[in-house]
Amino acid sequence: MRNLTYLLISLLCLSACKEQEKQPFQDGLANYPVMRQVMGDVDKYQVQILFTRIDRNEHGNPLFQDISFNLDDERYFYPASTVKLPIALLALEWLEEQDVEGLTLETTMLTDSVRPSQIPAYLDSTAENGLPSIGHYIKKILLVSDNDAANRLYELLGLNYINGKLREKGLDHTVITQRLSFPISPEENRQFNPVRFVDKAGEVILELPARHTDSIYIVPGEPKLGKAHYRNDSLYQGAMDFSFKSKFALSDLHGVVQRIVFPQAFFENERFNLSSEHREFILKYMCMLPGESDYPRYDTTEYYDSYSKFFKFGASKKPIPKHFRIFNKTGWSYGYLIDGSYFVDLENRVEFFVSAVVYTNENQTLNDGVYETEEIAKPFFAELGEYLYQLELKREKQIPADLSGFKFEY
């Protein structure tokens, strides 16, 4: 236990001064048993943590101190729905690049199909006007991580645009290759539906034909996970190949959240090129809870406050107090649970970034639906979030943060 105590102190660096390091940290760890269990067996749980402590200078600009635990951008984990965040941001960047009169977040977006593997989308019953749009798709992505919404933006942008833009921004450990929860071949994932944008009178404002890419995007290293896996209801012995399943390293996820929260902290070529209106739109829906949304409207018994807010609150279905705002994107699949967050307590002026991934798959069988998500993964995120929050709550800052720009009322 002595070694684990010093591992937590030195690698996670959650005690800033030597006096704190001399204290019996074990007493504090006793309050976080799942966190201690997971961090004590990094090979089994494949845990990675990236925490950014934030201070402010005299101008209110953020000063970052990055602290990591077991961070390895080369080690593969399945990113699941976290890839939807950069896709949503790039859809807004693409929208601004078009510079077409009448083309906005709310413009009706009609997706056609020209191949058997493609599905059209002409209506959206969750929208106030019953019609799909870029803005409404982004809302659904950020509120409840809607797969179809993300796939529609993927089809709009195409792989060359998505991967080229991410590489330009310095996100070098990310490769996006596929639609989500849509089992088609890598070849079909390189085909993109025709799309039309129409005005209220039904007149076409912008039309994109069916497109494809000859470029083959593949995850480096041909990663394989598990000891067995199900495919089409049949069990296969041997690891599952993730070469065409996308990669989004934890540091890249962390960096994407930072880029949208504090774009001024990055070089211009590393930022997402968004207007202030579009950035405000993204931040609003990153922190909005499902129950705060009218369109789309969600059943809060299924989509409770912490449905996609894992840090501090993920192990409970109780309401999240209103003075907490969490700007984040989560992922959850194949036994992996991931969250990249900017965590804010408006009342006590606490702010920090934290991203983490944990793997809970005791039987090492993928696609069997048997994972220790409720028993280990969610409690781990809740404990880690609480642990970091308590440290930052007690930490004195020379210049308190002005968080008024992150106060969203619904």
Nearest to 310 by CA among 341, 284, 279, 283: 341
Nearest to 9 by CA among 398, 406, 391, 399: 391
What is the per-residue pLDDT for 28?
61
DSSP assigned state of 114: -
Side chain identity at 39, as an amino acid letter?
Answer: M
User: Does the domain spanning 31-406 belong to CATH 3.40.710.10?
Assistant: yes
What is the per-residue pLDDT for 24?
27
Q: DSSP letter string over 314-361?
A: TT--SPPPTTEEEEEEEEEETTEEEEEEEEEETTTTEEEEEEEEEE--
**How far, in Å, CA of 367 to CA of 370, rounded?**
8
Strands 228-231, 365-366: pairing kind: parallel
Residue recorded with tokens 């394989």: 224
**How far, in Å, CA of 400 to CA of 402, rounded?**
7
List the chain domain ranges. Answer: 31-406
Residue recorded with tokens 């968080």: 403
Residue recorded with tokens 């279905």: 317
What is the per-residue pLDDT for 30?
75
Helix (H, G, I), strand (E, B) or coil at 6: helix
- Give the mean pLDDT per block of 10 residues along the chain (410 residues): 42 40 43 93 96 96 95 97 98 97 98 97 98 98 98 98 98 98 96 98 97 97 96 95 97 98 97 98 98 96 97 97 98 98 98 98 97 98 96 94 91
What is the per-residue pLDDT for 404?
94
- Residue 13, sorted as left (phi over 0), alpha (psi -120 to 50) or beta, turns out to be left
Are 240 and 366 within 8 A, CB to CB? yes
Helix (H) or strand (E) holding 148: helix 147-157
**How far, in Å, CA of 378 to CA of 304, rounded?**
14
DSSP β-bridge partners for residue 54: 64
